[in-house]
Amino acid sequence: MQDANAMTEARVRALAAGLGEADLEWLDRLAWNDAAIPDIRSDDQLADYRRREAALNRSVAHLTFAERAESPEGKLAAALGAAAANWSDRDEDG
């Protein structure tokens, strides 16, 4: 479970970086858990994942590498990037 203060800070940073309320609701449904990122099922969903990943990365750009890796946003950005890579590589897994 995430610290409430850390989650509030993460939400503020994510909004400032360009995520909208719908994106925050999506992250809230996942409990901001990087292990809960669903697999991508469409190219439209891929675009959403990449957009969210970019915004989350912007939200922690001011942090050190270690701080980014420990932040909820950094973990989620990495998970979204991994899901995007898996989708992009799906045709190569033959």
* 19-52 per-position pLDDT tens digit: 999 999 999 999 999 999 999 999 999 999 999 9
Dmax of the chain from CA atoms?
A: 45
**Model pTM score:** 0.89
Asked if 71 and 31 count as a contact pair (C-beta separation under 8 A), the reply is no
CA gap 39, 3 in Å, rounded:
26
Domain boundaries, the chain: 4-92
CA gap 49, 23 in Å, rounded:
10
Query: What are the distances in angstroms from CA 38 to CA 8, 10, 72?
Result: 23, 20, 17
